[in-house]
Amino acid sequence: MPEDRLDKLEMAVAEQEHMIEELSGQLAKQWIEIDLLRRKLALLTERFLALEQQATPSPPVTKPPHW
């Protein structure tokens, strides 16, 4: 009886270790993807800001007519 219980516990631990390894691998892949997406977002943000500056010239500074 105690041997069966020990076998069950060992199997449960082995399954948990396997699941932890799988989850760790998935997490590592997700961090790589997140890093790639952050870089792309930064590049797109820079491009957008550059295009925005080119498209809208700044208005000239003038005094209002009532001054």
Distance from C-alpha of 35 to C-alpha of 29, rounded to nearest angstrom:
10
Q: Is 64's pLDDT higher than 90? A: no
pTM of the model: 0.63
Which residues form the domain of 3? 1-51
Q: How far apart are CA 31 and CA 25, in angstroms?
A: 10
Is 42 within the bounds of a domain? yes
67 is a domain residue:
no
Is the residue at 45 inside a domain? yes
Q: What is the pLDDT of residues 12-60, one digit of tens each?
A: 999 999 999 999 999 999 999 999 999 999 999 999 999 988 887 777 7
When pLDDT is cut at 50, 70 and 90, the band that residue 61 belongs to is confident
**44 located within any domain:** yes
- Rounded CA separation 6/67 (Å): 91
The answer to whether residue 11 sits within a structural domain is yes
Residue 19 inside a domain? The answer is: yes
Q: How many domains does the chain have?
A: 1
